[in-house]
Amino acid sequence: MRRPMSEKFSVVGKPVPKLDAVKLATGRAEFLDDLRLPGALAVKLLGSTCAHARIKRIDVSRAERYPGVRGVVTFKDSPRVPYNPGVYYLEPKDRYIFDEKVRYVGEPVAAVAAVDEDTAEEALSLIDVEYEELPAVFDPVAAMEPWAPQIHRAERNIAAHIFREWGNLEKGFTQADYIFEGKYTTARQAHAPLEPHACAASYESGKLTIWTTSQIPFHVRSILSEVFGLPQHRIRVITSFVGGGFGGKDEVVLEPICALLAIKIGQTVKLRLTREEVFSMTTTRHPSIIWLRTGVKKDGTLVARHVRAILNTGAYASHGPSVAGAMSTRELGLYKSPNVRFEADVVYTNAPTAGAFRGYGNPQQSFAVESQLDEIAEKLGMDRIELRLKNAIRPGDINPGTGLRIESCGLEECIRRAAERIGWWQKSKDIESGKLKNRGLGVACLMHNSGAFPYIKEFSSAIVQINEDGTVQVMTGATDIGQGITTTIAQVVAEELGVKLGDVTVSRPDTEFVPVDRGTYASGELYISGQAARLAAADARQQLLRKAAEVMKAKPEDL
């Protein structure tokens, strides 16, 4: 029997207070809106009133003349450099800071910088926009029709098509005793983090500084470098306390707008969204339509599975293509089947943009697959637990979505222990006999990853510095958005060096001073950034031992 983690380590695995707990509990944690930047101008955004339109004319002259206004920007001021706001190397790059065409209600068409928010808000009402309205489409199935309005230059409004296949699907269905078909839909969700999106920017002597609530400061730097043609050493991105993200801050949102204003007017600017603006101007989870066709033997063995999915990515692609790719590896890799085909279309509509959201395609796919498994079990007269156990992946199996061999897997053990803990077998009998009334009993499984390899590049680095008094400083780009990565990295380093947790401090991300990091997403910060910190700590420990060995005339391995 494996020993509990708490018995293996002295710091890791122990219940400890978060390093920033006192600051958070007492209100002394400094979030972006708490920053007092001398002379900072307030920024407000004007959103489109049309779901799909060309801007025929936009007149900002009255707003520019309004007392207290220091600058206004529109598509006329915006670089014509397309980018993907999710990750700098993702395709398609279909977004501009501002565009002369709007694709959803609320899309920013202008930004005003003024001495205070009230002045900026008043100036927005003085901007005159004349739209040429275009037909709009909100249903992704309708958007794929030949007659549908074209939102981007994408054939049938398909931003991306994902196709994965292994085995022989047609042959698999001929071997099935039963074939089950079903259609499953999931809705849009908003992240609603406690802290709304916010950003500040300054531009001085050719250097751009960004303060942001982002989960991905180094990706922000890369995207701004690409859009504005600035070398990365001329861009500094700083994050402090971030009040939740859940994927909604896993892409650039306000940073390009603030940068554009700061560069144009040469003053520091600051923008914070209202809750209503967060709902209308930022991203959501992808609504989905999933069709499943599954071939099954009489004993419940899965022999063929065909998945067709449509993701409504809204006005821009953002993370859509990689979300669809992730769907192909998750739930389909949870249950064995020798013959599988996965097809997904990521479709543009005139709805708000969908992007990264906690789970990254997993909830949509899992809902469909687990729902159909229940239907199959009912039709076969088979227990739902037994059906899942029969088809569960085990060590040595290949995940068909990635081609990687499963080296460790506790799915079978997890299902059995969960069933035992909730009294599944007895409760099932009691419900069937009528003894247990007005009570439900359900089971569903889900597999999630740590990191996004091999579909998104993974990288992290760390610097560990041991001070003269034995205390330790860790410099890392890992972004703490409330999940506690600052504390867990400190635990890892303290464990590796054999020091007290209280003797370790961990920096906040600042691209000018900390080494590069992937950002906070895909449940991978401890797995990837924590490993970088552990390796740096191990290297520091070896350097210290070698130096001590020289002084003590001993071997490092003996110390």
- Look at residue 331 and tell me whether its pLDDT is greater than 80: no
Per-residue confidence (pLDDT) for residue 447, from 0 to 100? 87
Structure tokens of 11?
């710091």
Percent of the chain with pLDDT over 70: 98
Per-residue confidence (pLDDT) for residue 132, from 0 to 100? 98
Distance CA 477, CA 489 (A): 11
Residue 5 in 3-state DSSP? helix
What CATH code would you report for 5-19+454-558? 3.30.365.10
From residue 410, give the alpha-carbon distance in Å to each of 3, 393, 528: 16, 9, 22
Q: What's the DSSP call for residue 526?
A: I
- Look at residue 476 and tell me whether its pLDDT is greater than 70: yes
Q: Which of these ranges, 100-104, 148-152, 164-168, has the smallest mean pLDDT?
A: 164-168
Distance CA 529, CA 351 (A): 35
Distance CA 530, CA 489 (A): 5
- Look at residue 1 and tell me whether its pLDDT is greater than 60: no
Q: What is the mean pLDDT of residues 115-130?
A: 98
Distance CA 106, CA 316 (A): 13
From residue 472, give the alpha-carbon distance in Å to each of 59, 469, 493: 56, 9, 9
- Look at residue 400 and tell me whether its pLDDT is greater than 80: no
Q: Higher pLDDT residue, 168 or 399?
A: 168
* Residue extents of the structural domains in the chain: 5-19+454-558, 142-189+284-433
Q: E strands along 66-119, which residues?
A: 69-73, 101-102, 108-114
Distance CA 394, CA 478 (A): 33
Whether the CA torsion 357, 361, 363, 364 is positive or negative: it is: positive
Residue 6 banded pLDDT, cuts 50, 70, 90: low
Which backbone phi and psi does 115 adopt, to 5 degrees? -70, -25
- Look at residue 313 and tell me whether its pLDDT is greater than 80: yes
- CATH classification of 142-189+284-433, choosing from 3.40.50.170, 3.30.365.10, 1.10.3720.10, 3.50.50.60? 3.30.365.10
Distance CA 412, CA 389 (A): 6
Q: Which of these ranges, 293-307, 322-336, 342-356, has the smallest mean pLDDT?
A: 322-336
Distance CA 423, CA 443 (A): 12
Per-residue confidence (pLDDT) for residue 189, from 0 to 100? 97
For 403-421, the pLDDT digits (tens) are: 788 888 999 999 999 999 9
Q: Higher pLDDT residue, 250 or 554?
A: 250
Per-residue confidence (pLDDT) for residue 121, from 0 to 100? 98
User: For strand 472-476 and strand 504-506, is the pairing parallel, antiparallel, or unpaired?
Assistant: parallel
Per-residue confidence (pLDDT) for residue 100, from 0 to 100? 97
Q: E strands along 167-206, which residues?
A: 178-186, 198-204
Reported pTM: 0.95
For 245-297, the pLDDT digits (tens) are: 999 999 999 999 999 999 999 999 999 999 999 999 999 999 999 999 999 99
